[in-house]
Structure 1
Amino acid sequence: MSPPVQERGWSSLPADLLRDILSRLPWSSHPSFAATCKHWSTIVSLFYPAWITPVLLNAVDVGSTRIRYYSPYYHKIFEEDGDWSRYWEFSELIHPEPKVKASPMTNPVLHHGLLYMLRKDGRLAVYDDRQHDEGFKILDKPTDPGFKYDDYYLFESDEGDLMAVLVDRRGSPLYVVKLNEDVMEWEKVESLEGRALFTGTLTTMMVKTDVKWIQNKIIFPRLHHWPDVVHCDLVDREGEVAFVPKSTMVSQDGAVQDKSI
């Protein structure tokens, strides 16, 4: 008499089949997949969702094929092998004698089709590519915003306003100011109205968020120690974008790290 056939449960599905199933699921469903059982959790590889908090373009050398992003949430730099031609168009027109040096604290900001840079004294320099030969022009207004500060970060808000974060020498944000374009003067912003402001790198951005712990806050990168660099691919799966390390080690106990789900 042949021995009875032992039924195989969901927890005994082959790893290759589980990986194929997982590859068809959105990133946000992976934690639930991993929680099914220990065997299933070992199939889920480490990834870093880009949708939890904004990821800022950190630094990259011109001509390099590697693009770097800094995430304030993970305090990590994600480095992706990329093709510059996908993101940039290079111009052969280079002004021989620029009149304004770029600020070491902030990138130029494109606002209403013009390129703006903020000077230490609160003045704005503006560049119009239709008048390329004239280079940057320093505007008569606005002038000093009236606050003492050491560093400054210029950015365009999510509502299209030209704004700046003013910071003291200890790295603490002092004020956020907005340009009143009707009178061309800086005005102090009293409330972020539920938004989160990410700054302290060459890119500054303001976003509306439902995450309560970052609402109405100015978030600086924790650069008291240099963040780890993660070599990864930037993967878009059904509208969810995540950084996937090129080589991931599966945890021996099948645990899923909180910040990777």
Structure 2
Amino acid sequence: MEAAASHACDWSSLPVDVLVQILDHLRWSSHPSFGLVCRQWQSARAFSPFYPAWITPLLLNATDVGATNLRYYSPYYHKNFETASTLRTPDVKIACATGEHLALCSEDLIIHAQLLSGDVHELPPTKNAMFDSVVYDGVRTMFGVDTQFGMLGIARCIRDNTVDAWGDWDFASSDHDQPRFLTSQDCNPVLRDGFLYLLGKDGALAVYDGSRHDEGFNILEKPQGFMFDHKHSYLVKSRGELMAVLIGHRGTPVNVVKLNEHTMQWEKTESLEGRALFTGTSTTTVKKTNIKWMQNKIFLPRLHDWPQNVHVDLVQREDDVAFVPKDGHADTTVKHDDFGTKVMWSYELGQPQEAMEFWGTERVNYGIWINFST
């Protein structure tokens, strides 16, 4: 009798098709723990191959401008995951990314795309206004920023979720008496707590208060400079703080500065406190990571070695997002701890080293960082 009860509770002998059904109801991120239950479960052919999309930010890129398939470059796997989704919108550029949302813009049109569902919505025409950059709050408001000739202009478009439609663009009045504000060459506005920040080429800041829309941008008296030579500068929000990444000509030197909001001055920082910073596109993001070779590093969309293309479906299961290979096979092994340093340009902050120049790297064009982690 006791032997029969023991046999009835032998979970390791469950058929593979039963294990498959169980796994189909679990989040992908729980699969490793599931496989650790027993050796038989780990070796069973019940695990469907997939590449987690939440490990690091991904570089969304396109083969060309116009009608093209979407590709996501993973710095962790050093692979391009290509989906069947296409952007059949000629003469548009990728403007900004917020989570699973993507904004594209042309001369007089803004397009909002939801990457997981594939839904695409055209916003109302911008009345011939040309935006240099676009920012989406991820909920219901799109901001268009015009920085031409040093005169700052802003408009916003609000989505009515009850009818699933975007309203007309609301343009703030421009203050022509305001001094000119020359934005950084790689202007990427940052939205923080309802305020939109623009970085000037000399380290100055302009700020827009969403609750006082009609006033437009206000140019702050401080900060007034970076005190570091650079060619490219990118603004970033991390843990509620404003930071800027300064990169010299051909990739050297590299400095990261943080805004001291008491003195309103930029101060150099020597550590990212275990985080990884992904920049070089119109969206810059910082992520806490447990991957040792990524900690305290800055990554740019420049590759030493072009990656393998894997044709996949982008699939969401509850809060997990993963790439599922179309042929059902996936090689998810990573060779060694410093794998990423060999294939993508990176610089480790705070180490006694010179930043690597861009020689021998190829820039990924039409790219933007996407962060699927929740």
Common fold by TM > 0.5: yes
- Give the superposition deviation at 1:247: 2.4
Number of matched pairs? 237
The alpha-carbon distance between structure 1 residues 67 and 105, as it changes in their structure 2 partners (threshold 3 A), is farther
CA contact (8 A) 1:199 1:218 kept: yes
One of 46, 53, 58 as aligned partner of 2:56: 53
1:210-249 correspondence runs (5 A): 210-223=290-303, 228=309, 232-237=313-318, 241-245=320-324, 247-249=326-328
Unmatched segments (≥5 aa) in structure 1: 1-9
- Give the superposition deviation at 1:77: 5.6
Unmatched segments (≥5 aa) in structure 2: 1-11, 84-114, 122-137, 143-156, 158-167, 175-179, 335-374
User: Counterpart of 1:258?
Assistant: 333
- Looking at structure 1, the residues matched to 173 and 82 of structure 2 have their Cα atoms a distance apart, in angstroms, of 35
1:82 aligns with 2:100: no
Residue 255 of structure 2 aligns to a residue whose secondary structure is: strand
The alpha-carbon distance between structure 1 residues 176 and 243, as it changes in their structure 2 partners (threshold 3 A), is same
Query: 1:190-242: CA deviations, max 9, x gaps?
Result: 222222222222222223333322222223333457765855334234x5x23
1:84-123 correspondence runs (5 A): 88-90=140-142, 91=157, 92-95=168-171, 105-123=186-204
- Give the superposition deviation at 1:173: 6.0
User: Per chain length, whose mean CA-contact separation is higher, i.e. which structure has more relative contact order (CA < 8 Å, sep 6+)?
Assistant: 1
- Looking at structure 2, the residues matched to 186 and 195 of structure 1 have their Cα atoms a distance apart, in angstroms, of 20
CA contact (8 A) 1:111 1:156 kept: yes
CA contact (8 A) 1:197 1:204 kept: yes
CA contact (8 A) 2:58 2:75 kept: yes
Q: TM-score, normalised on structure 2?
A: 0.52
Letter in 2 for 1:242: V
CA contact (8 A) 2:77 2:332 kept: no
One of 224, 232, 256 as aligned partner of 1:143: 224
CA contact (8 A) 2:276 2:288 kept: yes
Letter in 2 for 1:244: F
- Looking at structure 1, the residues matched to 201 and 329 of structure 2 have their Cα atoms a distance apart, in angstroms, of 49
- Looking at structure 2, the residues matched to 217 and 82 of structure 1 have their Cα atoms a distance apart, in angstroms, of 32
- Looking at structure 1, the residues matched to 81 and 199 of structure 2 have their Cα atoms a distance apart, in angstroms, of 27
The alpha-carbon distance between structure 1 residues 150 and 50, as it changes in their structure 2 partners (threshold 3 A), is same
Letter in 1 for 2:333: D
Letter in 1 for 2:49: L
User: Counterpart of 1:177?
Assistant: 257
State percent identity of aligned pairs. Answer: 47
Letter in 1 for 2:329: V
User: Counterpart of 1:20?
Assistant: 21
Query: 1:99-126: CA deviations, max 9, x gaps?
Result: 8687563431112321001121111111
The alpha-carbon distance between structure 1 residues 121 and 101, as it changes in their structure 2 partners (threshold 3 A), is closer
Deviates further, 185-194 or 211-220: 211-220
Query: 1:51-84: CA deviations, max 9, x gaps?
Result: 322346779xxxx9x9876543234366644336
User: Counterpart of 1:152?
Assistant: 233
- Looking at structure 1, the residues matched to 304 and 185 of structure 2 have their Cα atoms a distance apart, in angstroms, of 19
RMSD: 3.9
Letter in 2 for 1:24: H
Give the strand-richer structure, 1 or 2. Answer: 2
Residue 221 of structure 1 aligns to a residue whose secondary structure is: strand
- Looking at structure 2, the residues matched to 170 and 50 of structure 1 have their Cα atoms a distance apart, in angstroms, of 30
CA contact (8 A) 2:72 2:81 kept: yes
The alpha-carbon distance between structure 1 residues 78 and 128, as it changes in their structure 2 partners (threshold 3 A), is farther
